[in-house]
Chain A
Amino acid sequence: MEKELRALVLELSSMVRSGVDPLSVEFQPLMSRLKGLIRRSLEFRHLELEMEALYDLALLVYSQSKHLRDKSSVLYVDPFLVRLAMLGSSSDRLAEAFLQSWRPSVARDVVSHEMMKRSYYYWSNLKEYAIEAEEVEPLLGKSLESLGIRYDELISDGIVAMHDELRDRGGRVLYEDLVGGGSLNERLRRAVLISFMLSYGYAVVEKEPLKKKFWIVAKDRVSDERPRGTESIVTVVS
């Protein structure tokens, strides 16, 4: 008795799992077999097997119903025709058919939610130290000469005139103010002159790091002559 029940359960579950065409299954004989076994069964331990067989039969009925529903829909296509269509098409055209009906999902692949949160806090905290971008005029590789600055001018009257101007303005002027707000060429010319003036010792730089300010402070001119045996290093403070 138990052996027969087990055989029926095995047969039914293999039908359900194999994906066999549900309409090809003869439902009535299977139901009759199960009915007969249930009538003959008097033992409680058979109940589990009987329920399992009944469940598989129910699944088969459900598959039959679903299959009929699919077949009756206007969009039902015969598997044989589909097979013929696919075998008769090139790989390129089959790929194109897939791409036309495919809308890939969009997801983050590596970054986790926690990492996003941590990076958000990191960048948010950096914000208060961020340096604001300023628009600058690019030099575009222009040489000093092309900007109208001649070297012989730098080492003569220009430096002295710049020193006199510094003195006239109180002897202590902000670097930006001394460079002035003229054209790029003029600002560059004055910046170079200030740099030479500092190298000659006609002035010194006082820094205020907290306020990000640079002051140019005039010193006495010891000699108008250029120091001998030394070289000036041009340092543009911007």
Chain B
Amino acid sequence: MFFKSHRIPGIKGWELKRSLGSGYTRVLKVLRSQMEPLGISIRAVGDDGSELSLDSPEDRLSTARFLLTLSEPVRVSDAKTSGWSIDELAGLTMCLGTIGSRGDKTPRSEVEEILRQKFPKWKVRNFISKYVKWGYLEEDGESLVPGWRTNAEVDLKSLLRYVFGA
């Protein structure tokens, strides 16, 4: 689960089944109890981007991607150390907040228009390119949808709740 396949971390359920056998979810549950004290969680993300539990039906788990994430929120200082700027984080919040409130698909022009009210035009283009490159957004024709990384790492409902609380 630590390794990447085609630049995406994690491993598919059917690959785990092939390596560990049909009881692989039991192994994962044990692993989860060992990883939790280290501050690492196991997440299973379904084809549609939804988070699955380890007790979900086998047909859904077999195509899900299993990956490891941090259990606790990241501090601002840690995010800065790992290369994020406050503006990049704020821009991503605005993109995901807009997309999250519209369902799961929003015209790119609309996202750009909202971002332009806070950031200069050149920065907006730069931000969206970065988010697409990093996997937080995906282009679907003229629209933007949440990328694999958003599905794996971000709780959109919780994000919207924090936006209102911000």
Identify the A interface with B (CB < 8 A).
Answer: 17-20, 66-67, 70, 75, 77-79, 81-83, 85-87, 89, 91-109, 112-113
Return A55 CB to nearest CB of chain B, in Å.
15
Query: Given A66, A85, A106, which contacts B164 in the complex, CB threshold below 8 Å?
Result: A85
Q: Number of B interface residues, CB 8 Å?
A: 59
Given contacts A96-B166, A103-B155, 7 further A-B contacts (CB under 8 A): A75-B157, A81-B164, A83-B98, A85-B164, A91-B87, A101-B161, A103-B69
Contact yes or no, A101 B70, CB < 8 A: no
- Residue numbers in B under 8 Å from A67 (CB-CB): 103
- Residue numbers in B under 8 Å from A97 (CB-CB): 93, 159, 162-163, 165-166
Identify the B interface with A (CB < 8 A).
Answer: 2-4, 9-10, 40-41, 43, 67-76, 79, 86-87, 89-90, 92-94, 96-98, 100-103, 105-107, 114, 117-118, 140-143, 149, 152-166
- Residue numbers in A under 8 Å from B76 (CB-CB): 92, 95-96, 99
Number of interchain pairs (Cβ within 8 Å): 158
Bound-state CA distance A77–B98 (Å) is: 10
Contact yes or no, B10 A105, CB < 8 A: yes
Contact yes or no, A103 B101, CB < 8 A: no
Contact yes or no, B153 A89, CB < 8 A: no
Contact yes or no, B98 A101, CB < 8 A: no
- Please name the residue on chain A nearest to B145 by beta carbon: A19
Return A70 CB to nearest CB of chain B, in Å.
5
- Residue numbers in A under 8 Å from B71 (CB-CB): 103
